[in-house]
Chain A
Amino acid sequence: MIEAFLFPVFRSATPLMLAAMGGLWCERSGVTQIALEGFMLIGAFFGAVVALGTGSAWLGFAGGIAAGMLFSMIYGVMVLHARANQIVAGMAMNFLAMGIPPVLSAFWYGSGGSTPMLPESARFEWFPIYFALAVVVVSALLYSKSRFGLRMRFAGEHPKALATSGVSVLLKRWQGVLISGACAAAAGAALSLCLASSYSRGMSAGRGYIALAAVILGKWRPVPTALACLLFGVAEAAQIRLQGVILWGSEAVPVQFIQMLPYIVTLVVLAGFVGRARAPEFLGQVE
């Protein structure tokens, strides 16, 4: 019973944890990150394309991550050098990511927005789940125990202090953006190579935004953020489990209310009813 419940929870939480760790580092370094959704789509699509072309799930995963990092570089150039508004540019990245897979898949496969089915050998059964847990552990260690983590946090909290100590704030923020690209793309590749068996249109289905919500819920700290992802994983697994189940009275719980749950929880946390969430001081400001 417990196994039957835990497995789907970890499965659903895997892409969330990966994307959330990416978002966490990016926001910690002081760059607002609402493009996780788009980065996930890019990772999912190119992950599937490479896995399909090479027949190897490993190369697919790596290819997805590489594509995500390349894609996040556009965002980096836009917000760190061209000084575009980070929220506007983030939305534009999401638009772009919605457009890239369908146009390319029509060109390459003659299909309207999805890749052909991946063979069993080009898919993962377990790996992304372990990978996500490893990323969480590494993030948690880096966050509190390393110079890298401290500097990333300073880039978002007090960039002037960091600059004074001779470390480039720009470099830290570039690292944040690239980490978010890599992690969110890995989350996407986990979707297309493990949770599903091909890329399908819009398959991230709002997970990038939920991951961002988890970062806020976890107050921009790795372990609480991962726990928040697990909570959302429970909500997603429960949503599938509770379909048509009668909890009280004679009516089944409308699935819409279970769908709303993660967002309502986030709102309540944001409103400070369950302990205040404080964003990095210089989040979204490029001086």
Chain B
Amino acid sequence: MILFLRTLLGVGAGLGAGLGVAAYVGESPWKVFKILMGSSFGDAYSLGTTLLYAVPLLLTGMSVAIPFRAGLFNIGAEGQLTIGAISAASVAILLPDLSPFFAVTVAIFAGALGGGLWGGFVGWLKATRGSHEVITSIMMNFIAAALASYVVLYWIKDPTSAAAESLTIASAYQVAPWSIFEGASMGLALPICLAVAFVLHFALERSVFGFRLKAVGENENAAQYHGISRERVWIESMALAGALAGLVALPEVLGNAYKFKLGFSPGYGFVGIAVALVARGKIVHILWSALLFAVLQKGAASLDLETEKLNRDIVYWIQALIILGVSAEVLWSRIFEWRRARSRRKAQAPT
């Protein structure tokens, strides 16, 4: 409970400080807050668009949270989702005649496989060569960006477009949006990703796999002693993380743009770190934490349009301040301890 309060305190402090900046620039914080909320939940279309941000963040949030259980920091979700998206798009463009029955499944699989290999490689490097996963993931992010740029420009480029984007994927691969969202490109990706989250929740909390992750994360030596190979856990968890990030291909490529656009991700992989952190690595909490950060991303665009002095970049402040607020563990726990100590002193004082 105190943990939850602390998280809430961190989020509140971050949001408050961000809105304080808005006030400094000369916009009413209340107005900014209303714009953020209104543009996210105002009507079915807005809600659908917010979910369009929330679903990738749910995936990348889990992609960060799962290796974190095993004590690994996956800072490479951005590269993994790039590779996943370009893999799915390439399959969808290079195999246009697949029957609709298989097409989407194959493309999703290609995305997860691409991302999974990209992430698994980082785990493999750590397991066999001892290379720190944070640095290798950062390098892999840059390599992924360059590789995707090469593939999209040299292999599957749309010759009629001036932008760096691929051809449109065949119709068999296109996942139609649901009409309840009144035009927002959100459809089948939502239940699929929620189902993935549901399954992973049980896999983490109730399965042998989840136990092995936790064992390695909590105490490597004890885990080794009990016959759990930490190397295997590292590779598995990073491959799973990569596959989850690669799944972003589903909402983005198959469900929304119907093509691969270079730089399509507004930093989903990095915001995923924040999502996982605020959720403290619990899948159930990632659901709302992904929604929170989606609101910020969605609201950013409206801040550009609906305020005079603020632009979308204020959202970076709010995100950063929320991360700092939540990660300042000791600060909050000290405050709690100090209050508890004071009440204890008071209780003891009369004697």
Q: Residues of A at under 8 Å CB distance from B?
A: 32, 34, 74, 78, 81-85, 87-89, 91-93, 95-96, 98-103, 106-107, 112-113, 206, 209, 212-213, 216, 254, 256-257, 259-260, 263-264, 266-267, 270-272, 279
Are B273 and A103 in contact, with the CB atoms below 8 A? no
Proximity bits, B312-351, A CB within 8 Å = 1, else 0: 0111110111011001111100000000000000000000
Q: Is B140 an interface residue (CB 8 A)?
A: yes
Interface residues on B, range: 35 or more
> What residues of chain A lie closer than 8 Å to B319, measured between beta carbons?
92, 95, 99
Are B277 and A95 in contact, with the CB atoms below 8 A? no
Are B316 and A96 in contact, with the CB atoms below 8 A? yes
Are B25 and A88 in contact, with the CB atoms below 8 A? no
Are A256 and B147 in contact, with the CB atoms below 8 A? yes
Known interface pairs A34-B138, A92-B324, A213-B135; 6 further A-B residue pairs with C-beta atoms within 8 A, sorted by A's residue number: A83-B328, A88-B273, A102-B313, A212-B138, A259-B142, A263-B139
Are B125 and A98 in contact, with the CB atoms below 8 A? no
Cα(A113)–Cα(B142), bound, Å: 23
Are A82 and B329 in contact, with the CB atoms below 8 A? yes
> What residues of chain A lie closer than 8 Å to B153, measured between beta carbons?
254, 256
Are B330 and A88 in contact, with the CB atoms below 8 A? no
Are A279 and B139 in contact, with the CB atoms below 8 A? no
8 pairs, A vs B, C-beta closer than 8 Å: A32-B134, A84-B324, A96-B320, A99-B320, A113-B311, A213-B138, A256-B153, A263-B146
Query: Which residues B137-184 have CB closer than 8 A to chain A?
Result: 138-140, 142-143, 146-147, 149-150, 153-154
Most chain B CB inside 10 Å of its own CB: which residue of A91, A93, A107, A272: A91
Cross-interface CB contact of A96 among B317, B328, B331, cutoff 8 Å: B317
> What residues of chain B lie closer than 8 Å to A81, measured between beta carbons?
330-331
Are B316 and A107 in contact, with the CB atoms below 8 A? no
Please name the residue on chain A nearest to B317 by beta carbon.
Answer: A99
Are B129 and A93 in contact, with the CB atoms below 8 A? no
Please name the residue on chain A nearest to B142 by beta carbon.
Answer: A263
Please give the distance in Å from B320's CB to the nearest CB on chain A: 4
Are A89 and B316 in contact, with the CB atoms below 8 A? no
Q: Is B136 an interface residue (CB 8 A)?
A: yes
> What residues of chain A lie closer than 8 Å to B75, measured between beta carbons?
87, 91
Proximity bits, B243-282, A CB within 8 Å = 1, else 0: 0000000000000000000000000001001100100000
Are A102 and B135 in contact, with the CB atoms below 8 A? no
For chain A, what secondary structure do more than half of its interface residues adopt (helix, strand, loop), or is it mixed? helix
Are A254 and B150 in contact, with the CB atoms below 8 A? yes
Are B324 and A267 in contact, with the CB atoms below 8 A? no
Cα(A254)–Cα(B129), bound, Å: 30
Q: Tally A-B pairs: CB < 8 A.
A: 143
> What residues of chain A lie closer than 8 Å to B25, measured between beta carbons?
103, 106-107
Are A260 and B146 in contact, with the CB atoms below 8 A? yes
Are A256 and B150 in contact, with the CB atoms below 8 A? yes
Most chain B CB inside 10 Å of its own CB: which residue of A78, A101, A259, A267: A267
Please give the distance in Å from A266's CB to the nearest CB on chain B: 5
Query: Which residues B299-313 have CB closer than 8 A to chain A?
Result: 309-311, 313
> What residues of chain A lie closer than 8 Å to B191, measured between beta carbons?
none
Are A270 and B317 in contact, with the CB atoms below 8 A? no
Q: Is B21 an interface residue (CB 8 A)?
A: yes
Query: Which residues B106-148 have CB closer than 8 A to chain A?
Result: 125, 129-132, 134-136, 138-140, 142-143, 146-147
Cα(A254)–Cα(B152), bound, Å: 12
The 3 closest A-B pairs by CB, nearest first: A99-B316, A96-B320, A102-B313
- With A87-B75, A92-B327, A256-B150 as known contacts, state yes or no: A103 contacts B131, CB within 8 Å: no
Q: Is B53 an interface residue (CB 8 A)?
A: no
> What residues of chain B lie closer than 8 Å to A84, measured between beta carbons?
324, 327-329
Cα(A88)–Cα(B328), bound, Å: 10
Please name the residue on chain B nearest to A273 by beta carbon.
Answer: B129
Cα(A213)–Cα(B136), bound, Å: 9
Are A272 and B129 in contact, with the CB atoms below 8 A? yes
- With A78-B324, A260-B146, A266-B139 as known contacts, state yes or no: A279 contacts B132, CB within 8 Å: yes
Please give the distance in Å from B305's CB to the nearest CB on chain A: 13
Cα(A99)–Cα(B319), bound, Å: 10
Please give the distance in Å from A42's CB to the nearest CB on chain B: 12
Cα(A113)–Cα(B130), bound, Å: 40
Please give the distance in Å from B165's CB to the nearest CB on chain A: 16
Please name the residue on chain B nearest to A254 by beta carbon.
Answer: B150
Most chain A CB inside 10 Å of its own CB: which residue of B146, B153, B314: B146
Q: Is B73 an interface residue (CB 8 A)?
A: yes
> What residues of chain B lie closer than 8 Å to A113, measured between beta carbons?
311, 313
